[in-house]
Amino acid sequence: MLQLKKIIAKNNSYLFTETNQKDLKDFGKVYTVNQINRKEKNFFMNFIKLFFLSRKIIKKIRPSVIVSTGALVTVPMCIIGKFMHIKIIYIESFARIDKPSLTGKIMYKFADVFVVQWKDLLKYFPKAKFWGGIF
C-alpha cells in the first residue's frame, strides 16, 4: 500500500493496516490494529473482534472503494464492505509468485476486482486480472 501513496494523497483516503507498519505519518488518516496470527490460541476471538472494529470504521468513514494488498487483518474489513455494497479491489502480493496466499484464497470469493502480479497465479485464480508488477 505504501506504493499507492500518491493515489491515496490525491483522494479522500484512509489507511487500515497493522500497527507494525512504518512510515505511516504521511498518510494522515490511518487506522491501525494489532497483527493477528492464525496459529495463535486467541486467533478466533481476535478475528471476531476485528469484525466489530471493521464495521465501526466502515460506518464512520463510509468508503466507496476498499483496496487491499493482503494481510489477514483486512479480510473482515473487505467482507463487511462487500455486504454493504462497497466495491472491493484485492491485489495479491508481489511476493506470491507461484502459490496463492491464504488471504488471496479468501478474498477471491469477495473481491469485485482481483489482481495478480504473476501469470502463474492465474491457474489458481482464473477470473483474476493480470497486471504484471504493479509496484
For residues 73 and 104, the answer to whether their CB atoms sit within 8 Å is no
CA dist., res. 6 & res. 88, Å (int): 20
CA dist., res. 116 & res. 63, Å (int): 23
pLDDT value for 125:
94
Tell me the pTM: 0.84
AA letter at 123: K
Domains of the chain and any CATH numbers: 2-130 (3.40.50.2000)
pLDDT value for 73:
86
pLDDT value for 123:
95
